[in-house]
Amino acid sequence: MKVPDTFCKAPFSSAVIDCDGKLLPCCEYMQHLSTIPYHHVSDFDQWWISGLMPLRQKMILGEPDDGCRHCRTKESNPQEYSLRRDSNRKIQQSALQFMHDEPLGPIELVEIRLGNVCNLGCIMCYPGASSTIAAERISHQQVFRSIGISTDHDQNIDRAWYKNQEHWSWALALVANCRYLHVSGGEPFMNPRMLELLDAVSDDCSVSINTNMTMINEEIADKLRDLAEVKLVISLEGVGDHNGYVRWPSEWSTIERAIDDLRGLSMNINHVLQHTSIFSIPPLIVWADEKRIPINFGQVFAGSVQGWGTMTINSAHPKDHEQFSRWLGTYDGPYKKVLEGWAGSYVFSPERHDFFKTYVGVLDSIRGTDFQAVFQPNWA
């Protein structure tokens, strides 16, 4: 039996506990687009044994599932990072083993999302992953509703599934037996159980932690240095005020100081390609090169912020895209191909552009920020 080109091992050997306790086969699976039912961590056994069977069968038959759309979109640019390709590389069992209906092996890849408690309100994020955004949407319901952003659901300030001891025990059991662990949030280092989670990690587990680097204290730094293998995946959307605007209200001096303090650890930058990237990427690349920290580029979810394409490059003004393209023509570094693929996908949407301006205008009025002063767009 031939392995389909679209085959992904994740549904056979990967498990994600989402911010609200829902279970996912990988961190980029778009459950709301799939017909496969939701399962919660309280129902882990049933999900693992039978709940994932429809998705596994689709993988074997080479049939696309709408929940996997994000990877398919990114793989249209061969140079861009793909979680499917990364999962297939990391998981030891072969695709043929999974296709031949052999008993499922261990869960090798685990991601724990420790609720939505976060000190930042990133402009491309949503209440389910940020308590700061949840609180902002609740406090300014009328303003957000006036521009079509719903505030009627998904607004829990603290999605604390981990406070249930039975659910937490499932998480610790997964962590103790996996080969790869990724921890995210919210901001994981705000979570009171983060250190307990890291204590459960085995010595042969490779740990990566997605963090905004604003909450690193001495105790956390010591714990990170004690781990056998750890990588910090640092969420950065730019340098200085660029990052402070997109990842509001982060302080650049705090982030840079924490990075310098932990330079003995493995690090990479995770940058979400989005509208603001056409302004922030050039100085970010210069800074990252000076720090000798590699950058991974992923694309913003097309549905972020109440509409398909609001935060994508397609909402950028043509003059801003042209300016970025001119810079890209002079750039000859390691990220050239992925950035050319991203910039080359541009299809201007006047409607998305207008909504983006409305959206950042609302944020500026609430937060006291100034998009035009920070990014100096050509449409200003």
Domain boundaries, the chain: 10-107, 111-375
As a whole number, mean pLDDT of residues 97-120 equals: 88
Region 349-356: mean pLDDT is 96
The CA-atom distances, in angstroms, between 318 and each of 275, 312, 321, 348, 380 are 12, 13, 5, 7, 13
Chain segment 129-154, per-residue pLDDT in tens: 899 999 999 999 999 999 999 776 54
Beta strand 109-113 with 23-24 is: unpaired
Residue 157 predicted with pLDDT over 60 = no
In this structure, which amino acid lies at residue 157? I
pLDDT at position 153 is 54
Strands 180-184 and 206-211: parallel
Fold of 111-375: TIM Barrel (3.20.20)
Answer yes or no: are the C-beta atoms of 186 and 117 closer than 8 Å: yes
Share of the chain above pLDDT 90, in %: 80
Average the pLDDT over 354-362 and give the result.
97
DSSP 199-265: HT--TT-EEEEEE-SSS--HHHHHHHHHSSSEEEEEE-SSSTHHHHHHTTT--HHHHHHHHHHTTTS
Stretch (H or E) spanning 271: strand 266-273
pLDDT in tens, 221-274: 999 999 999 999 999 999 999 999 999 999 999 999 999 999 999 999 999 999
Tell me: pLDDT of 159 over 80: no
Q: Which letter, b or e, does each residue of 236-269 get, where b requires 16 or more Cβ atoms within 10 Å of its Cβ?
A: bbbbbebbbbbbbebebeebbebbeebeebebeb
Question: Is-cis flag, bond preceding 186, omega within 30?
Answer: yes
Asked if pLDDT for residue 190 goes beyond 80, the answer is yes
Average pLDDT, the chain: 93
Burial of 103 (0-12, 13-18, 19+ CB in 10 A): exposed
Q: Give alpha helix (H) positions in 247-335.
A: 252-261, 277-291, 318-330
Q: pTM, whole model, 2 decimals?
A: 0.88
